[in-house]
């Protein structure tokens, strides 16, 4: 069965009386090249893959061919009528029905993938929860090799922006702290059914074994990073002082000791600058 074929999808959905739910971010892939490319980037024969939101199983089937085992978490129980048909030949794929946001993914990994040398997360993510999913996965420090996901193009650019450039924000700093991010390729809106109003991109976050910078307290570091990017038009001194109540003089002194001008903007700081600043103030 060609699960990326629009007529196959229509016939499957019609037979089971399935209608798309916008509230669940249900835009199904209808391009034959995207899923094989995602699977090749995410996994190999030794990898256990967690997929989020299999839909009718178009990516699940590709992952099942490439990986050792796939466990896919789907919220929409109406797909129980379809997935057993579409994945009948995928003996190493299992579907769990539930909300990924409420699941203990570390426990799932320990239960399902004890014999897998590598773990990956791969998904065409529902857009309404992109950031909480990506940040939740990174912050929970999953024992994973990579997170390879399709997200809205603008979200991809923000998540993967190089720290120290105009596009970077607090979220890009967090992504670069936990992983090495890369935009792999773009996916136009015409590759989905129904077609969304935005284009997409596939990103790969290669999880770091340890952060590239050393901070005294991660909690304090991320609080400072949020403050730095809270008021983007202001200088770092003003936004950090306004947001955290820290004396301007103390911030200026810290910047001076790092060799940075007091007029500097947060977007001009490298990850290392931000780490050093958080260790000073
Ligand atoms: N993987 C399929 C594809 O590429 O065609 C479907 C991707 S569609 C963008 C997102 C999928 O995530 C849908 O199947 C939707 O029902 C599911 N989903 C939405 N919210 C979810 C949640 N909180 N937990 C698990 N799955 C969810």
- pLDDT single digits (tens) 77-134: 999 999 999 999 999 999 999 999 999 999 999 999 999 999 999 999 999 999 999 9
- pLDDT tens digits for range 141-175: 999 999 999 999 999 999 999 999 999 999 999 99
Separation CA 116–CA 112 (nearest Å): 9
Give backbone dihedrals phi and psi of 47, rounded to 5 degrees, phi first: -100, 140
Global pTM reads 0.95
Per-residue tokens: 281: 């103030």
High-pLDDT (> 90) share of the chain, %: 94
Question: Of 112, 117, 88, whose CA–CA distance to 3 is shortest?
Answer: 88
* C-alpha torsion 168→172→173→174, nearest 10: 160
Residue located nearest, by CA, to atom 8 of ligand 1: 26
pLDDT at position 139 is: 94
* C-alpha torsion 39→43→47→48, nearest 10: -40
* Span 21-48, average pLDDT: 97
Give backbone dihedrals phi and psi of 78, rounded to 5 degrees, phi first: -65, -20
Does the C-beta of 54 come closer than 6 Å to ligand 1?
A: yes
Between the CA of 131 and the centroid of ligand 1 the distance, in Å, is 15
pLDDT at position 1 is: 83
High-pLDDT (> 70) share of the chain, %: 100
| Mutual angle of helices 271-280 and 248-257, in 10-degree steps | 130
Between the CA of 123 and the centroid of ligand 1 the distance, in Å, is 8
Residue 24 carries which DSSP code?
G
pLDDT at position 42 is: 98
CB contact set of 31 (below 8 Å; sequence gap of 6+)? 4, 187, 191
* Span 4-9, average pLDDT: 89
Between the CA of 126 and the centroid of ligand 1 the distance, in Å, is 5
Atom of ligand 1 nearest to the CA of 60: 1
Residue 198 clears pLDDT 90, i.e. is over it:
yes
Between the CA of 82 and the centroid of ligand 1 the distance, in Å, is 14
Atom of ligand 1 nearest to the CA of 192: 5
Cis peptide upstream of residue 194 (ω within 30 degrees of 0):
yes
The neighbouring-strand residues paired with 47 are 118
> What is the pLDDT confidence band of residue 232, given thresholds at 50, 70 and 90?
confident
> What is the pLDDT confidence band of residue 18, given thresholds at 50, 70 and 90?
very high
Could you identify the residue written with the tokens 């089971």? 16
184 compared with 10, residue with greater pLDDT: 184
Average pLDDT value over all residues in the chain: 96
Residue 179 clears pLDDT 90, i.e. is over it:
yes
Does the C-beta of 57 come closer than 6 Å to ligand 1?
A: no
Could you identify the residue written with the tokens 């998540």? 159
Separation CA 202–CA 144 (nearest Å): 18
- pLDDT tens digits for range 234-278: 999 999 999 999 999 999 999 999 999 999 999 999 999 999 999
Per-residue tokens: 109: 């990994």
Structural domains in the chain, CATH included, are 6-207 (3.40.50.150), 218-280 (1.10.8.100)
With 0-12 CB in 10 A as exposed, 13-18 as middle and 19+ as buried, what is 31? middle
Residue 4 clears pLDDT 90, i.e. is over it:
no
């Amino acid at each position: 069965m060609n699960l990326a074929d629009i007529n196959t999808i229509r016939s499957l959905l019609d037979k089971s009386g399935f209608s798309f739910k916008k509230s669940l971010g249900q835009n199904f892939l209808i391009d034959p090249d995207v899923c094989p490319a995602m699977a090749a980037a995410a996994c190999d024969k030794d990898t256990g893959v967690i997929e989020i939101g299999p839909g009718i199983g178009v990516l699940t089937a590709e992952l099942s061919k490439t990986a050792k085992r796939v466990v896919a978490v789907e919220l929409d129980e109406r797909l129980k009528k379809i997935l057993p048909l579409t994945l009948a030949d995928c003996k190493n794929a299992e579907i769990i029905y539930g909300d990924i946001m409420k699941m203990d993914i570390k426990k799932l990994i320990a239960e399902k993938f004890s014999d897998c040398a590598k773990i990956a997360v791969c998904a065409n993510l529902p857009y309404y929860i992109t950031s909480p999913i990506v940040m939740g996965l990174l912050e929970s420090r999953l024992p994973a090799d990579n997170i390879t996901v399709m997200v809205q193009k603008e979200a991809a650019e923000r998540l993967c922006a190089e720290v120290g450039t105009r596009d970077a924000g607090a979220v890009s700093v967090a992504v670069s702290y936990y992983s090495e991010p890369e935009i792999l390729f773009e996916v136009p809106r015409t590759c989905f059914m129904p077609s969304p109003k935005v284009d997409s991109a596939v990103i790969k976050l290669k999880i770091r074994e340890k952060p590239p910078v050393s901070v005294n307290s991660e909690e304090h570091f991320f609080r400072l990073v949020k403050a730095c990017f809270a008021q983007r038009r202001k200088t770092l001194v003003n936004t950090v002082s306004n947001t955290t109540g820290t004396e301007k003089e103390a911030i200026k002194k810290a910047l001076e000791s790092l060799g940075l001008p007091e007029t500097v903007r947060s977007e001009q700081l490298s990850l290392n600058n931000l780490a050093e600043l958080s260790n000073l103030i």
